[in-house]
């Protein structure tokens, strides 16, 4: 007879407590690993989230000679987001549900171990929005950390694959799930929660790396005690200066107790500055998608956060899209770089939001430095007022302009955003960010919806279509491309160059010292472009559409590039889940995206493959 999951989790935690060493040096170990470009030791390559490699064996001159070296089938269909971890001689890859983890020997390309958690598909899959994806693994303290779809956070022995401990991070019966990659920080594992389309209240949580014990937990909205906001210390950008948020900064922007089911989930990426001891991330859309049911700014959904890593206390927070009316989820990655702006060197945080604006903030203080459109067809707001920090909404694009049950037409970008979760890369050689982007507009019609725990809490119907305009100028030109790959200067808010793609670029990129940037396409191509000009230098068709993130590493003196292919994710959900109705957003998987990508099935089919590339001998 099997023991209940809860009993197993408690037993494993107690056992870990008894055997735990006194000190963990996980953070210093991970930092050391990331400094060696032979590894890819964190989900985004390093704590700053730059996805940059110092390797230059593969460069803009010879990348045209790239060849597939070997491949591995994951045995799982649906969308393969995230990418491989590479620690020394071992590559660790993962799959979407059921979240199988493989440890692969680089020398033989054979399986060292594999681990598949036990999960209840009937409970978990129905509450997973936009495909059953998982965005990756984390490493530290000799362990591989897997954030399972059913919210269980699991620590595996990196050498054997045996489970060391597990802890329940949420409750799928209430609509909670997990899709994001955790991050090891100091002696903790940082993770969040998904489920904004089910009325889940978002949070960031830190668990002890040795035991799985909860160290701290900070919610996105609610009383100051829940959010870990200190009214006398926590600041925001307001009236042209860094200002203390004051008491009850979240609850007073919600009507009644709506904040208790207010969304603001945290299923994106996390960055860390060890000098400042701050964790950075974004929070998602408010619940419900019907804005008339939640008057007010709905803080602190749609916000960028800086939290003290040791305590979880909020240093600063900045809301990008107050009172979101379009599902412009704010969870996209926060990249930490040091660059000169207006003659002054700044410790910057750079974020490309779903709402179509690229933000540059001082990551020490939260001061707003730059906020500009990285797709000029964006029309829901004319600009961001730099003094107030608030977007200036075009009244014609407001989805509550005439109350409920009125369809707003021509809103750009669509709910998928001008960029979704696919992480950018940054090259210190060019000083540019490389954005995997979408290029869509939408029709959006809210309707009244009631909250029932564990049931979809969306409240809007939408459909999506090509933006039909130029990314660089915003002028309508009849184009039908659904995506673009763009180079961006975060110190000026200017586009350097942009390449059109037939479909959204749902793959995270990697920039290298060889002046090459790699990314994947929904049709399944691995592409390499010149980091300075955007000129396409190489492409190869993999077995299925790519929504995974391209990573690079070195083994025995040879540079490799690897990517997971397997069509799916929100853009590829039509193929992945067998959906064919592109208009009904009340379907918790499709959410309006199917119709725009209907022709994608002519270019690629389901599959799950890890493909590794290198230069010929």
Residues classed as catalytic: 327
Q: Look at the block and give the residue holding tokens 């770089």.
A: 337
Q: What is the rounded distance in angstroms from the CA atom of residue 54 to the CA atom of residue 92?
A: 21
What is the DSSP secondary-structure string of 448-491? -----TTS----EEEEEEE--B-TTT--B------EEEEEEETT
The 10 Å Cβ neighbour count of residue 449 is 20
Q: What is the rounded distance in angstroms from the CA atom of residue 362 to the CA atom of residue 346?
A: 7
Q: What is the rounded distance in angstroms from the CA atom of residue 376 to the CA atom of residue 13?
A: 51
- The encoded tokens of residue 355 equal 């709402």
Q: Look at the block and give the residue holding tokens 């609610």.
A: 222
- The encoded tokens of residue 312 equal 């979880």
The candidate with the shortest Cα–Cα distance to 326, out of 391, 399, 272, is 399
- The encoded tokens of residue 3 equal 């023991």
Q: What is the rounded distance in angstroms from the CA atom of residue 317 to the CA atom of residue 227?
A: 11
User: Would you call 599 helix, strand, or coil by DSSP?
Assistant: helix
Residues paired with residue 445 on neighbouring β-strands, in sequence order:
461
Residues paired with residue 612 on neighbouring β-strands, in sequence order:
70, 562
Q: 182 near 24, Cβ under 8 Å?
A: no
370's CB contacts (< 8 A; 6+ apart) are 341, 358, 359, 360, 490, 491, 492, 493
Q: What is the rounded distance in angstroms from the CA atom of residue 383 to the CA atom of residue 364?
A: 25
- Report the first-to-last Cα separation within the chain, whole angstroms: 55
284's CB contacts (< 8 A; 6+ apart) are 196, 202, 220, 263, 264, 265, 266, 267, 268, 301, 302, 329, 330, 331
Q: What is the rounded distance in angstroms from the CA atom of residue 92 to the CA atom of residue 607?
A: 19
The candidate with the shortest Cα–Cα distance to 415, out of 522, 319, 285, is 285
Length of the chain: 617
Q: 400 near 448, Cβ under 8 Å?
A: no
The 10 Å Cβ neighbour count of residue 407 is 13
């Amino acid at each position: 007879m099997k023991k209940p999951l809860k009993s197993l989790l408690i037993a494993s935690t107690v056992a870990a407590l008894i055997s735990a060493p006194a000190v963990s040096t996980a953070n210093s170990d991970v930092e050391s690993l990331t400094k060696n470009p032979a590894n890819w030791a964190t989900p985004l390559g390093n704590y700053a989230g730059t996805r940059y490699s110092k390797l230059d064996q593969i460069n803009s001159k010879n990348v045209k000679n790239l060849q597939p070296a070997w491949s591995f089938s994951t045995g799982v269909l649906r969308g393969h987001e995230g990418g491989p971890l590479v620690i020394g001689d071992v590559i660790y890859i993962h799959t979407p549900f059921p979240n199988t983890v493989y440890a692969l020997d680089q020398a033989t390309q054979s399986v060292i171990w594999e681990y598949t958690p036990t999960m209840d598909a009937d409970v978990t899959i129905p509450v997973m929005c936009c495909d059953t994806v998982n965005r990756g693994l984390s490493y530290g303290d000799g362990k591989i950390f897997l954030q399972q779809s059913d919210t269980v956070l699991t620590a595996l022995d990196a050498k054997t694959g045996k489970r060391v401990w597990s802890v329940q991070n949420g409750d799928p019966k209430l609509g909670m799930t997990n899709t994001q990659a955790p991050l090891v920080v100091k002696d903790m594992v940082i993770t969040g929660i998904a489920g904004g389309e089910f009325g889940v209240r978002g949070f960031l949580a830190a668990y002890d790396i040795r035991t799985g014990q909860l160290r701290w937990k900070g919610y996105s909205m609610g009383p100051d005690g829940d959010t870990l906001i200190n009214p006398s210390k926590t600041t925001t950008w307001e009236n042209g200066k860094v200002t203390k948020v004051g008491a009850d900064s979240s609850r007073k922007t919600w009507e009644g107790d709506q904040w208790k089911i207010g969304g603001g989930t945290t299923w994106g990426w996390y960055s860390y500055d060890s000098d400042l001891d701050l964790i950075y991330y974004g929070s998602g859309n408010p619940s419900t998608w019907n804005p008339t049911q939640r008057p007010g700014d709905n803080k602190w959904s749609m916000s960028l956060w800086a939290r003290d890593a040791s305590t979880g206390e909020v240093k600063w927070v900045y809301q990008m899209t107050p009172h979101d009316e379009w599902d412009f989820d704010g969870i996209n990655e926060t990249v930490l770089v040091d660059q000169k702006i207006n003659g002054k060197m700044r410790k910057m945080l750079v974020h490309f939001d779903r709402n179509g604006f690229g933000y540059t903030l001082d990551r020490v203080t939260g001061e707003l430095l730059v906020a500009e459109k990285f797709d000029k067809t964006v029309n829901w707001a004319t600009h961001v007022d730099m003094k107030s920090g608030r977007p200036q909404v075009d009244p014609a694009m407001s989805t509550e302009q005439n109350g409920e049950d009125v369809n707003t037409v021509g809103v750009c970008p669509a709910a998928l955003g001008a960029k979704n979760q696919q992480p950018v890369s940054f090259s210190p050689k060019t000083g540019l960010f490389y954005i995997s982007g979408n290029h869509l507009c939408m029709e959006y019609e809210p309707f009244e919806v009631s909250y029932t725990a564990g049931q979809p809490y969306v409240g809007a119907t939408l459909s999506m279509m090509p933006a039909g305009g130029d990314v660089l100028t915003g002028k309508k030109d009849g184009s039908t491309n659904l995506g673009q790959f763009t180079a961006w200067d975060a110190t000026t808010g200017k586009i350097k160059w942009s390449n059109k793609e037939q479909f959204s670029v749902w793959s995270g990129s990697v920039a290298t010292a060889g002046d090459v940037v790699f990314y994947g396409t929904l049709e399944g191509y691995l592409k390499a472009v010149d980091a300075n000009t955007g000129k396409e230098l190489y492409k190869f068709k993999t077995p299925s559409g790519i929504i995974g993130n391209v990573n690079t590493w070195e083994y025995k003196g040879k540079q490799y590039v690897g990517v997971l292919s397997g069509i799916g994710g929100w853009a590829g959900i039509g193929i992945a889940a067998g959906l064919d109705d592109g208009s009904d957003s009340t379907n918790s998987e499709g959410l309006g995206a199917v119709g725009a990508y209907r022709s994608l099935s002519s270019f690629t089919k389901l599959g799950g493959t890890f493909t590794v590339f290198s230069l010929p001998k």
